[in-house]
Amino acid sequence: MLRVATVGDLPFIQDLAGAVFSRFGDYRRILTRFFYTDGVTTFIWEEENSPAGLGMVALDWGLNSTYGVADLMAIALTPDRQGQGSGGRLLAALLEWSRAQGADEMQLTVAEPNHIARRFFARHGFAPAGRDEGRYPAGQRALRMVRTL
């Protein structure tokens, strides 16, 4: 089940970020900053009445945009939930929420050496956008991927 996160979820968000994103940078700090950023909605994914993951989505209609773009800022599952289909269910819920908000497209960046995440997103309809989006804090090249909603 997907629900909007509260301040009380911040310790879970920070601990999960430290567990799954530490090789890419100080994501405990980065996701805390995202949590408090206007326009970013943070979600908690629950299974068996317990937090099992998170998602962060920013919506941007831009001044020159005729359609909405949902930017998947973060998605993560607790290590014990990985590889069991929970990620696909979490992503589907985030895609549906973004569509309901009026977005026509979702974009994200993924670290080039993160082959597991790149394959996951490709299986769920994301395609490389052909642009290098710079670097992650730990130096990995960031690749952009997009999909229509």
* pLDDT tens digits, 65-101: 556 889 999 999 999 998 889 999 999 999 999 999 9
- Average the pLDDT over 34-38 and give the result: 95
Q: In what order do the strands lie in the sheet with 127-135?
A: 2-4, 40-47, 50-60, 68-77, 103-111, 141-148, 127-135
| Residue whose structure tokens are 């949590």 | 35
Residues 6+ apart with CB under 8 A from 8: none
Whole-structure pTM value: 0.92
- Average the pLDDT over 35-63 and give the result: 91
Domains of the chain (ranges, CATH numbers): 2-148 (3.40.630.30)
Query: Which pLDDT does position 60 carry in this prediction?
Result: 74
Category of 2 on φ-ψ map: left (φ > 0), alpha (ψ -120 to 50) or beta? beta
Average pLDDT over the chain reads 92
Is 80 exceeded by the pLDDT of residue 26? yes
